[in-house]
Amino acid sequence: MTLIANIVGARPQFIKAGPISKALATAGFDELLIHTGQHYDPLMSEHIMDDVGLRQPDVNLGVGSGSHATQTSGMLEAIEAVLLDYPIDAVIVYGDTNSTLAGALAATKLGILTSHVEAGLRSFNRRMPEEINRVVTDHLSDLLFAPTENAMSHLADEGLDGRSQLTGDVMVDALHSIDLDQIDTPAWSAEPYYSATIHRAENTDDPARLEAIVEALDRLHLPVRLLAHPRLRKRLMTYGIEPTRSLQIHDPLPYAEMLATVRASQGLFTDSGGLQKEAFILRVPCVTLRGETEWPETLHGSWNTLAGPEDDLEGLMSTVRTSETTSPFGDGHAAQRIVSALGERLDSDSGMD
Ligand code: UD1
């Protein structure tokens, strides 16, 4: 028996782990699914897991919210205890959250083979907590699975090419597993609208910046349907910011419904990494409310534009886009490649080849 621990905790990780979990089962590996509890609202966790076919976690560490140090150290301690309790052969961590960092640190310190899925992404903005998590996790991990050529070149620049492999992006696998034509969208989607999400600390935690973004979206000429992360709702309340015109705040949607809702919209305003890519693949115009992106491939053909609340957001949405199609994020078989590379490495470590 070979036991692989899959460590997840936040919404985008449930999506990434879905295809990997299926590929592990197909390859005959046993899986221990560990949920750190970073995201605990059912709308942010259970509903998303159901959509991507991720089973109930075997262990939920219930760590919840806190400052970066409190959250990360709580996870580190709790993950180490679980990894000591089970005969784990390898650990897989995903993306760039505090759960990723805690998982990689706990596992590598115990000498367990550690894989990082979505390695090599860089914003080169060290004020983002995610950037710190990415860099540290890449340098800790034994196997680095990069979604794009660009990510591969970042890893090479940091001397990590010996541990890196280009696999494509598991989020493409997840997207391909859903037939969006079969998915219902909310009743309000019958009329034209823009879709939106805002959750990055750089946008939500500075009251002046958040107010400027809300005002800019509120001025647009179509309803803006903002599927709000709990962080955003909390900040709007704390700062007393209330949209009064176009901007409508809704609860987050499950994964499949979110994709279908973005696809049916006239355009997406976001600061999410995953959604920038999904909009690109679905050919929905996207304006990213940030100064940089970890997914520069999406800027190709102007499908995605970086902008701030001071810019002409509606003008940017209607920019002419190329009809040329590119697939910089892979062919939808990333999970299979990752699991077979992991299997080969485990075989070679145990002297089986
Ligand atoms: C985290 C990740 C970010 C990722 C995002 C996806 C880090 C540093 N950041 O940000 O990279 O893009 O997840 O959503 O790990 N909250 C709830 N209910 C929940 C989850 C969170 O109310 O289920 C609240 C927390 O109380 C906290 C805020 O949301 O006030 C932020 O949560 P946290 O998990 O710290 O970071 P995210 O903003 O979700």
User: Do the domains at 3-169+330-352 and 181-319 have one common CATH topology?
Assistant: yes
Q: Is 212 exposed, middle or buried (0-12, 13-18, 19+ CB in 10 A)?
A: middle
Which pLDDT value is given to residue 353? 60
Which pLDDT value is given to residue 326? 80
- pTM, two decimals, is 0.96
Of 303, 305, 301, nearest to 278 by C-alpha is: 303
> So where are the chain's domains?
3-169+330-352, 181-319
Question: Tokens 């996870």 label which residue?
Answer: 75
User: Is any ligand 1 atom within 6 A of the Cβ of residue 138?
Assistant: no
d(CA 286, CA 271): 10
The residue whose CA has the least distance to atom 31 of ligand 1 is: 231
User: Is any ligand 1 atom within 6 A of the Cβ of residue 233?
Assistant: no
Map residue 142 onto helix, strand or coil. coil
Per CATH, the number for 181-319 is 3.40.50.2000
Of 343, 348, 338, nearest to 116 by C-alpha is: 338
Burial 8-37 (b: 16+ CB within 10 A, else e): bbbbbbbbbbbbbbbbbeeeebebbbbbbb
Question: Tokens 């990360």 label which residue?
Answer: 72
d(CA 246, CA 44): 25
pLDDT < 70 positions in the chain: 352-353
Which pLDDT value is given to residue 292? 97
User: Is any ligand 1 atom within 6 A of the Cβ of residue 243?
Assistant: no
User: Is any ligand 1 atom within 6 A of the Cβ of residue 229?
Assistant: yes
- What is the Å distance from ligand 1's center to 39 Cα? 6
**Residue among 13, 35, 39 to mutate when testing ligand 1 (max atoms within 8 A of CB):** 39
Any idea what DSSP says for residue 206? S
Architecture of domain 3-169+330-352: 3-Layer(aba) Sandwich (3.40)
Which pLDDT value is given to residue 351? 86
The residue whose CA has the least distance to atom 13 of ligand 1 is: 10
User: Is any ligand 1 atom within 6 A of the Cβ of residue 38?
Assistant: yes
Q: Is 199 a catalytic residue?
A: yes
Question: Which residues, other chains included, contact 84 with Cβ-Cβ below 8 Å and sequence gap of 6+?
Answer: 110
Of 265, 260, 197, 267, nearest to 232 by C-alpha is: 197
Which pLDDT value is given to residue 75? 98
Which pLDDT value is given to residue 323? 77
User: Is any ligand 1 atom within 6 A of the Cβ of residue 98?
Assistant: yes
**Terminal C-alpha separation, the chain:** 17
d(CA 232, CA 229): 5
Active-site option among 116, 154, 199, 229 = 199
Helical segments of 27-128, H only: 46-51, 68-85, 98-109
Q: Would you say 4 and 29 are in contact if contact means Cβ atoms under 8 Å apart?
A: yes
Which pLDDT value is given to residue 327? 87
The residue whose CA has the least distance to atom 26 of ligand 1 is: 65
Which pLDDT value is given to residue 45? 95
- What is the Å distance from ligand 1's center to 232 Cα? 10
Q: pLDDT tens, 55-114?
A: 999 999 999 999 999 999 999 999 999 999 999 999 999 999 999 999 999 999 999 999
Which pLDDT value is given to residue 324? 72
The Cα angle at residue 52 between residues 55 and 83, in degrees rounded to 5: 45
- What is the Å distance from ligand 1's center to 105 Cα? 20
Q: Is 280 exposed, middle or buried (0-12, 13-18, 19+ CB in 10 A)?
A: buried
d(CA 84, CA 94): 21
User: Is any ligand 1 atom within 6 A of the Cβ of residue 122?
Assistant: no
